[in-house]
Amino acid sequence: MNPAEIIKIDLHSHTTASDGEFTPTQLVAQAASLGISHLAITDHDNVEGIDEAIKAGLEYGVEIVPGIELSLDYPGVPGSIHLLGLYIDHKHAEIDRYVVKLKEFREERNLKMLDKVQKLGFDIRAEDFPEIPLNKLGRVHIAKKLVDKGYLKDVKEAFERYLKKGAGAYVNKIRYSVEEGIEFVHKTKGIASLAHP
């Protein structure tokens, strides 16, 4: 194949609407600089970054694929499995109903994780994340704060010792089932795909 014919795509990316490092506009600009022509915005459990990404995509010449990444229960699997919803209608009426519940699940989980972190002797509280609502906070944010405050050397250590499934600060959250997640993606006219095969 002629290299000029290669199409670069990324169908799994996160913005600051969940646990990504870049705003939707910054992420689209980065994708454009790498020659990516199609970029899926698949933030965890929300669609808040999609409109901004679409606007930036028009400016930078990147086709934006509206998406979402869902953490779902699967029998026999500890923790969760992740499902991507690609090409969803991110304005669909079903989105609000589903996402509001996901935000409640995430907020409850984060409060419990922060409590566990404190009980392990680390002074990290919700107030340490003034720019991140509790319903958007992720384990990676907590890991980075553990490093920033000098408790641990890097994010990898934070996950290995405290935040991975089964570790001392890990909290499993209430989740929809795989069947419910797939039904939701299909209701929003999307394609359901396993996020981490």
Instruction: Give residue 4's identity as a one-letter amino acid code.
Output: A
CA distance 44 to 102: 9
pLDDT over threshold 80, residue 78: no
Q: Which secondary structure element, helix H or strand E, spans residue 51, and what is its range?
A: helix 50-60
CA distance 56 to 182: 29
> Does pTM surpass 0.85?
no
Read off the pLDDT of each residue in 57-86 and give the average, rounded to a whole number. 92
Residue 117 is predicted with a pLDDT of: 97
- Name 36's bridge partners: 8
CA distance 163 to 139: 7
SS3 (DSSP) at 193: strand
Read off the pLDDT of each residue in 30-47 and give the average, rounded to a whole number. 95
Which pLDDT tens digit goes with each residue over 119-137? 999 999 999 999 888 888 8
- Percent helix / strand / coil, the chain, rounded to 5: 40, 20, 40
SS3 (DSSP) at 83: strand
